[in-house]
Amino acid sequence: MRLTPSPRLRALPIVLGVLATTFAGVALAGYTLTKTPAAVQFTGIGPGGFKMVGKTAALSLVQDDKALTFVVALADLTTGIALRDRHMREKYLEVAKFPDVRLAVPLASLPNPAAGASTAGELKGTLSLHGKQREIPFKYEASCTVANVCTAKGSFTINIKEFDIVVPSYLGITLKPDVVVEAQFEGTR
Amino acid sequence: MRYWSLPALALLTAPGALAYPSMIAHGYTSCAACHVDPSGAGQLTQYGRGMSDLLVRWHVDPKEVESGEPSPAAGFLFGLLPTPEWLNPSGNLRGGPMVVVGSNVAVVPLVMATDLTATLELSPVVAHVALGFGLKNMGPAVVISPDPSTGELALVSREHWLGLKLFDDALVLRAGRVPVPFGLRNVEHTSAVRALTRTDVNTDQQHGVAVAFAGDLLRAEVMGLLGNYQIRPDAVRERGYAGFVELFPVEHVGIGASSLLTWAGRDLDTEVPLLRQAHGVFARFAPVEPLALLFEGDALVDTAFDAAGAPTTTVGGAAWLQADWTIIPGVHLLPAIESSAHGDGMLAGWLGAAWYPLPHTELRADAIVRETFAAAGPTSAFVGLLQLHLYL
């Protein structure tokens, strides 16, 4: 049994990675991230209970007059296993060509919870990943303190094949193309 | 009670097959990706061979892990013999010297495993068999022995089963001689939690039908025990059920519960009708990647029946707490403490160290101190064991 199988199998379990990031629903216009590290992760699953989680804190916010965009740099995304990370960056996400993933949410749709209030719901945004763009729905929860420090978290599921990402497969373990992406951050307004 | 009536050598011999519940430290909660058995232990899958080479083996240059693929030597027979994807052959060779302080024989050479294993996978059907030759002291795993009085030179089959994988391998149905699903599947088969519950993966497999489930939030297996058909007469065969469920509430944490109930018309050890129960909890926790903590605590309830059918129930317990500390990749320190109350009381401390210098090669040393509290007074035993373990 060789450990260097066909090219198709060499793919790393890894996966999927990264995909994304994103979101967080809430955004709130004029927001600035606090020093509390953001948490972005994707979860891919495979056969027999196999699960792979990739994480990064490299979330930033970019806002123009139309949208608030959540940007996650993929270079530091890690799954905890070095070789898997390398496969993920090089073979699947092609980070050198597509260094980040973005979710742009129209400002007009953004919730703006009052100080001391919280909100939750579903929004739509445009996800840019691996050179492809698709509108996706995502769920969010957000709350703001009376001091206007707000926390937000969001999640969505994507099919990586829709973003032309090869489904990772390695040594007989093939991940499912559906990947769950979750993000959480804290900001002030 | 079987545990205490075993010969000292068998009782104190240490670790057995290949199983690493501590892989939860690497984020692996499920066992099925790396092991042929969906609940872990024993023969590795192709993926398991690769991860063993990357995550378990010692690398002279740790950067090899980041820059390279698994070594071709991690394949069957160290990569010398390519095999088709549907056939997974392997081997499990284990032996070494044991020192029992105070015994008449200073050093006892042990051959613990000479198994050849093969798994045939024609999706969704999978068949698995393990055969060992020339072994002794293999008790309930023996198929044929030239001299049943000594059990030497026996043909051993620890496992042989036929399975069906369903729903993307999330569900595995098996029938045959299967490891009994219960508790941590730790390799220390003489630990009280394995020996007293009779759920080790060295010789305690049973014939029966098992259903295993593996998801991202929980894994479970339940087995109907039909008895071990490698022992006779039929009255000594234990019938009942065993099973466990393990939940993963957060990353790097597993919390589980196990239950077992068996009936034998003539228990193999006590030679009386025995209703045997074991119920317990276990947990795996990796606070940081180099460290995994493993715990199991089991309640043991035996109900024996005399010739008149009058029952006598005894209640006891067993517990195990182990740390698996990866000092550097490929070198593990494995301290553990255990206790039991099942007949005599027992308290023991283990200090193990494992080094994986080459692909599929393990060199392990164990020092075990056991204090037994019997009616006649406490006794101590000290055992040192050095093992070379090759899994082809």
Query: Is residue B204's pLDDT more than 90?
Result: yes
Distance from CA of A186 to the nearest CA of B (A): 22
pLDDT band at A20 (very low <50, low <70, confident <90, very high): very low
Size of interface A-B (CB pairs under 8 A): 99
Q: Smallest Cα–Cα separation from A122: which of A189, A33, A38, A24?
A: A24
CA contacts within 13 A on the Cβ side of B169? 26
Q: What is the mean pLDDT of residues A158-167?
A: 96
B71 pLDDT band, cuts 50/70/90, is: confident
CB contact under 8 A, B46 and A51: no
Q: Residues in chain A whose beta carbon is closer than 8 A to a beta carbon of chain B?
A: 1-5, 10, 13, 43, 45-53, 79-83, 86, 170-173, 176
Tell the burial category of B371 from Cβ atoms under 10 Å away from its Cβ (0-12, 13-18, 19+): middle
> How far apart are the two ends of chain B, measured CA to CA in Å?
36
Res. B17 pLDDT band, cuts 50 70 90: very low
- Confidence class for position B20, pLDDT limits 50, 70, 90: low
pTM above 0.95, yes or no: no
Question: Choosing among B28, B77, B87, which should be mutated to test the A contact, i.e. which has the most A CBs within 10 A?
Answer: B28
Which structure tokens are listed for A184? 């959480």
The tens digit of pLDDT for each residue in A67-106 reads 999 999 999 899 988 888 989 999 999 999 999 999 999 9
Residues of A in contact with B70 (CB under 8 A): 3, 171
Euclidean distance between CA atoms B236 and B268, whole angstroms: 5
- Nearest residue of B to residue A45, measured between CA atoms: B216
Residue A118 lies in a domain: yes
| Spatial separation of the C-alpha atoms in residues B89 and B76, rounded to whole Å | 7
Span B255-293, pLDDT tens digits: 999 999 999 999 998 999 999 999 999 999 999 988 999
| d(C-alpha A133, C-alpha B330), whole Å | 44
Quick check: is A48 in a domain? yes
A-chain CB neighbours of B89 within 8 Å are 1
pLDDT over 70, % of chain B:
93
pLDDT at B379: 92
The answer to whether position A1 is within a domain reads no
Contact B88 A1 (CB under 8 A): yes
Residues A46 and B92: their CA atoms lie apart, in Å, by 28
CA distance B200 to chain A (A): 23
> Is A24 contained in some domain?
yes
Highest mean pLDDT among B5-19, B140-154, B199-213: B199-213
A2 is a domain residue: no
Q: Please tell me the predicted confidence (pLDDT) of residue A25.
A: 36
Nearest to B69 among A3, A13, A80 (CB): A3
Instruction: Output the domain CATH number for residue A113.
Output: 2.40.128.110
Residue A49 has its nearest CB partner, among B67, B69, B216, at B216
- Domains contained in chain B, CATH given: 2-391 (2.40.160.10)
Residue B18 has pLDDT above 70, yes or no: no
User: Is it the case that residue B384 has pLDDT exceeding 80?
Assistant: yes
- Confidence label for B335 from pLDDT (cuts 50, 70 and 90): very high
Question: CA B171 to CA B215: how far, in whole Å?
Answer: 9
A26-35, B57-66, B306-315: the lowest-pLDDT one: A26-35
CB contact under 8 A, A170 and B54: no
Which chain B residues touch A46 with a CB distance below 8 Å? Answer: 33
User: A40 lies in which domain range?
Assistant: 7-188
Q: Do A43 and B85 touch (CB under 8 A)?
A: no
Residue B1 Cα distances to A57, B150, B243, angstroms: 55, 21, 22
CB–CB contact B79 A2 (8 Å): yes
Q: Considering only the beta carbons, identify the residue of B27, B32, B50 that sits closest to A171.
A: B50
Report how far residue B31's alpha carbon sits from residue B24's, in angstroms, rounded to the nearest whole number: 9
Tell me if A63 is assigned to some domain.
Answer: yes
Report the distance separating Cα A152 and Cα B56, nearest Å.
Answer: 39
Nearest to A1 among B29, B67, B82 (CB): B82
Chain A hits for B79, CB-CB cut-off 8 Å, are 2-3
Does A80 sit within 8 Å of B289, measured CB to CB?
A: yes
Q: Taking 70 as the threshold, does the pLDDT of residue B222 lie above it?
A: yes
Tell if the CB–CB gap between B46 and A171 is shorter than 8 Å. yes
pLDDT of residue B158: 94
Which of B65, B82, B215 has the CB atom closest to A82's CB atom?
Answer: B65
Inspect the interface and report whether the beta carbons of A43 and B69 lie closer than 8 Å: no
Chain A residues lying within 8 Å of B32, measured CB to CB: 47-50
Which residues in chain A have Cβ-Cβ distances shorter than 8 Å to B211? none
Establish whether this prediction's ipTM goes over 0.90: no
**Which is nearest to A176 in space by CA: A23, A42, A82?**
A42
Instruction: Say if residue B370's pLDDT is above 80.
Output: yes
Distance of residue B170 Cα from the nearest chain A Cα, in angstroms: 4
pLDDT given at position B11: 43
Ranking A34-48, B50-64, B179-193 by mean pLDDT, the lowest is: B50-64
CB pair distance less than 8 Å for B27 and A52: yes
pLDDT tens, residue by residue, B89-107: 999 999 999 998 888 888 9
How many angstroms separate the CA atoms of B127 and B154, rounded?
23
- Residue B3: its pLDDT value, please? 36
* Average pLDDT of span B153-178: 95
**Residue spans of alpha helices (H) in B235-342:** none
User: Per DSSP, which regions of A11-83 are E strands?
Assistant: 32-33, 39-45, 51-56, 59-63, 67-73
Looking at residue B251, its pLDDT comes to 86
User: How many domains does the structure of chain A reveal?
Assistant: 1
* pLDDT of the residue at A114: 86
Q: Does residue B9 have a pLDDT over 90? A: no
pLDDT at B30: 84
pLDDT surpassing 80 at residue B167: yes
Cβ atoms of residues B58 and B364 within 8 Å: no
